[in-house]
Structure 1
Amino acid sequence: MKLTPISAGHFHCDGGALFGAIPKVLWNKAYPCNNDNFTQLTLRCLLVELDERKILIEAGIGNHYPEKHLKNNGVTSVTALEKSLQEKGFLPEDITDVFFTHLHWDHCTGAVKNTGKKLELVFPNATLWSSKKQWEHAKISNPREKAAYHREVLDFMMDTGKLQLIDTEGEFAPGFEIRMFDGHTPGQMLPLLHTEKHSFVYTSDLITTAANVPQLWISAYDLDPVKVMEEKGRFLQEAAEKNYVLLFEHDYYTECATVQQTEKGVLLKEKLELAALI
């Protein structure tokens, strides 16, 4: 198994949204913001090469949104994903699978491009993967979360016949394990990747940044805060016991980290670069 980070650009969000009920005087020491209270985030996709398969985890934002929406969300590029792949020696046609942790706009809509006349798949040879629970939830959603789903893009992916739905946890591919978490949004799937040296967990929105590691430091975007804290608490205990390497999708400053058990619960142990671990 070979792991390669792929950039789909950057964006930002309000620091209060990123850390929920945690006071700014605390979170701003761990994760900086600008004068407008915006925290810089990134769209760190991950390419997993496994035998003949090239599995891209997440696909970023894409070119579906008006300029005002992109500006409000601090989106730096809508073409970064393909450029980053090419810089690493890959073409969109090389990708065999695109794995979505969930279907919020910043995680999946970059798998489709708008040509101005029609929608097209960015990765024409790839099977797209979502959890069944997340797909069903995205169709009904709720007023608070509805804006996070781009219905036209999601329906297009399904209509192509390329989108496949996963029912349960377990092995997705050799060494590629799926874990389900429902607190952020029902049916969020996290990849647990077992390499020869380490077990990596792509944390998606369960743990948005290294600063979000403490159990209570959760996002205001989480639909069920109590469930998130319960799920996160159990996961952090396992991560500390088994020395998992957390790989952050959205942390602008930190690619990876390990955690450890302390008197104050499971907390950050060491920040790491992926290149030094593989």
Structure 2
Amino acid sequence: MKLYPIQCGNFKLDGGAMFGVVPKSIWNRTNPADQNNLIEMGMRSLLVEDGKKLILIDCGLGTKQDEKFFSHYSLYGNESLEKNLAKFGFIKDDITDVFLTHLHFDHCGGAVERNPKNDSYQTAFRNATYWSNENHWQWAVNPNPREKASFLTENILPLKESGQLNHLPLPTIGNYGFYPDLKMDVIFVDGHTEKQMLPVIKYQDRTIVFAADLIPTAGHVPLVYVMGYDTRPLLTMEEKEKFLKQCVENDYLLFLEHDAHHELVSLKMTEKGVRVDQTLKFNDIFGY
């Protein structure tokens, strides 16, 4: 097995929304805001090469939205999914599976693209199986008012129409299951959105958890640092507390999808609770 971090682009979001009730004087130390109160965000996917499988976990915003849409998110830099796949010798047609932690636009927008011949929508990974779960799918196609702006029809329905969409069954006991088709464990969490999925991957002598929106940046590790975007913030804290304890006890590394500057973090227990121990570069630990 080989793992590759794939940067899909960078954008900015309101720092207050990203940290909920935590005062700016505190979160600004780890995630400094610009003059418009915006903080830098990454869209970092993880590519898993395992035998004949080439699994892409999340795929960023994509490029099919119009200029007005993208103007709300202050895109910056020149990183792209295609560019960083090519850096490791891959193209989109090589991908066998696209694992979508959830269907918010910044995680699944790259799964669908425009067909320039007829201005329709088509899947961007034509040889891949797409993975979601039935509970989250129903949540996304019948959105509540709070999340409706994050679930875009053009990102979601073409997956079903293509015939490429599969759903992972939910674990029968607890929130943790193993899925042999993907050769990975998955943790299900509900605070941010219904049945968000966090892949857990054993790699070399370490265990890596793709933290998605449970812990989007290194600045979100402290327990009460919960996003204003979460639909059930108190549940997020319950899930985080259990998850962080598990990570410390088992020396897991967190792969950070939205941190513009840090790919991985290790954790430690302190008198104030779980905190970041080290921020790490993927290449420094595993090489490419």
What range describes the TM-score normalised by the shorter chain of this pair?
over 0.9
Q: Residue by residue, what CA displacement relative to the aligned partner does 1:72-119 show, whole Å, maximum 9, x if unpaired?
A: 111247981112211221011110000000000000121111134211
Q: What one-letter code is carried by the residue in structure 2 that aligns with 1:166?
A: L
- Identify which of 120, 123, 136 aligns with 2:122: 120
Given that 1:40 and 1:252 are in contact with CA atoms closer than 8 Å, whether structure 2 keeps it comes out as yes
CA distance in 1, matches of 2:30, 2:244: 19
- Identify which of 161, 169, 172 aligns with 2:163: 161
CA distance in 1, matches of 2:78, 2:239: 33
Instruction: Show the counterpart of 2:62.
Output: 62
Q: Residue by residue, what CA displacement relative to the aligned partner does 1:137-183 show, whole Å, maximum 9, x if unpaired?
A: 11222111000011133111101110111122422247511110000
User: How large is the RMSD of aligned CA atoms in angstroms?
Assistant: 1.4
Instruction: Show the counterpart of 1:186.
Output: 194
Instruction: Show the counterpart of 1:139.
Output: 141
Instruction: Show the counterpart of 2:101.
Output: 101
CA distance in 2, matches of 1:199, 1:271: 16
Q: What one-letter code is carried by the residue in structure 1 that aligns with 2:12?
A: H
Structure 2 SS opposite 1:276: helix
Query: How far 1:251 sits from its partner (Å)?
Result: 0.1
CA distance in 1, matches of 2:229, 2:155: 21
Alignment TM-score, normalising by the size of structure 1? 0.96
Select between 51-60 and 136-145 the one with higher mean Cα deviation: 136-145
Structure 2 SS opposite 1:29: coil
CA distance in 1, matches of 2:79, 2:50: 26
Residues 238 and 195 of structure 1: CA distance in aligned 2, closer, same or farther (over 3 Å)? same
CA distance in 1, matches of 2:75, 2:142: 27
- Identify which of 206, 221, 225 aligns with 1:213: 221
Q: What one-letter code is carried by the residue in structure 2 that aligns with 1:218?
A: V
Instruction: Show the counterpart of 2:233.
Output: 225
Residues 181 and 78 of structure 1: CA distance in aligned 2, closer, same or farther (over 3 Å)? farther
Instruction: Show the counterpart of 1:172.
Output: 179
Which runs of 4 or more aligned residues in structure 1 lie more than 3 Å from their structure 2 counterparts after TM superposition? 76-79
CA distance in 2, matches of 1:63, 1:195: 31
- 1:111 matches 2:111: yes
Structure 1 SS opposite 2:109: helix
Q: What one-letter code is carried by the residue in structure 2 that aligns with 1:133?
A: N
Select between 227-236 and 146-155 the one with higher mean Cα deviation: 146-155
Q: What one-letter code is carried by the residue in structure 2 that aligns with 1:136?
A: Q
Given that 1:246 and 1:256 are in contact with CA atoms closer than 8 Å, whether structure 2 keeps it comes out as yes
- Identify which of 278, 281, 285 aligns with 1:277: 285
Query: How far 1:267 sits from its partner (Å)?
Result: 1.1
Instruction: Show the counterpart of 1:75.
Output: 75
Query: How far 1:5 sits from its partner (Å)?
Result: 0.7
Query: How far 1:264 sits from its partner (Å)?
Result: 1.1
Given that 1:62 and 1:78 are in contact with CA atoms closer than 8 Å, whether structure 2 keeps it comes out as no
Structure 2 SS opposite 1:98: strand
Query: How far 1:62 sits from its partner (Å)?
Result: 1.4
Given that 1:8 and 1:78 are in contact with CA atoms closer than 8 Å, whether structure 2 keeps it comes out as no
Residues 222 and 255 of structure 1: CA distance in aligned 2, closer, same or farther (over 3 Å)? same
Residues 98 and 48 of structure 1: CA distance in aligned 2, closer, same or farther (over 3 Å)? same
Query: How far 1:265 sits from its partner (Å)?
Result: 1.1
Given that 2:105 and 2:155 are in contact with CA atoms closer than 8 Å, whether structure 1 keeps it comes out as no
Q: How does 1:31-46 map to 2 (within 5 A)?
A: 31-46=31-46
- The size of the alignment, in residue pairs, is 278
Structure 1 SS opposite 2:187: strand
Given that 1:61 and 1:78 are in contact with CA atoms closer than 8 Å, whether structure 2 keeps it comes out as no
Residues 77 and 157 of structure 1: CA distance in aligned 2, closer, same or farther (over 3 Å)? farther
